[in-house]
Amino acid sequence: MRIIAGTARGRKIFSVSKKLPVKPISDRIKQSVFDILRPRITGAFMLDLFCGTGNVSLEAISRGAQKVVMVDWELACIKNVKRNLDHLGFTDKAVVLKGDLLKPLKWLSAYNTPEGFDIIFMGPPYRDIKNNPLSFTEPVLEQIAVCKLLSKQGLIVAQHHKKETFKVPEDFEIFREEKYGDTLVHFLRHKNV
């Protein structure tokens, strides 16, 4: 894994053990997502849920994001993210938190701005250790809506397996969908904005 563009372009990122159910975003998907986000990255305040290796957040910081809040529930991922931040010299640009993202997310308000996050990226695991399919997108989107974590002009990037279906909370709408093999990426925003 490596940083594709920005101040840390070409720098390598440390990964986690292959025994963990962590599937880092591919360079192809990451490049495409950041091409779409390009006008919004500089100065953005971002939330990265299920951050895994930190690949997406590190790319965002390299491309000019002001601050990134990164959350995962695996301690090995948290340690690896901190190692990557230190390795790239990005420690002052990020907050790394351990938390269960399937429980209420009100606690994340303490790390938010009064306006809300400009970009929320979520790339939950597709499968558990026993290879059973997981469906985390819907409950996390519901919590983002209930806790009002997204700014009025902000957007959510939801990466998930193509077979995972979910209902969009009433506050949000999907305005773009991209397909990459077995992965779908949905871009959501507030309705009527």
Domains in the chain: ranges and CATH: 27-182 (3.40.50.150)
What pLDDT, on the 0 to 100 scale, is given for residue 1?
A: 87
- Report the pLDDT averaged over residues 46-73: 96
- Report the pLDDT averaged over residues 67-76: 94
DSSP state of 131: -
Q: Are strands 45-49 and 67-72 parallel, antiparallel or unpaired?
A: parallel
CA 142 to centroid of chain Cα atoms: 16
- Report the pLDDT averaged over residues 120-127: 82
Q: Which of 97, 179, 111 is nearest to 147 (CA)?
A: 111
What pLDDT, on the 0 to 100 scale, is given for residue 131?
A: 64
pLDDT greater than 70 at residue 16: yes
Residue 124 pLDDT grade (very low, low, confident, very high; cuts 50, 70, 90): confident
Dist. CA 51–CA 47, nearest whole Å: 9
Model pTM score: 0.93
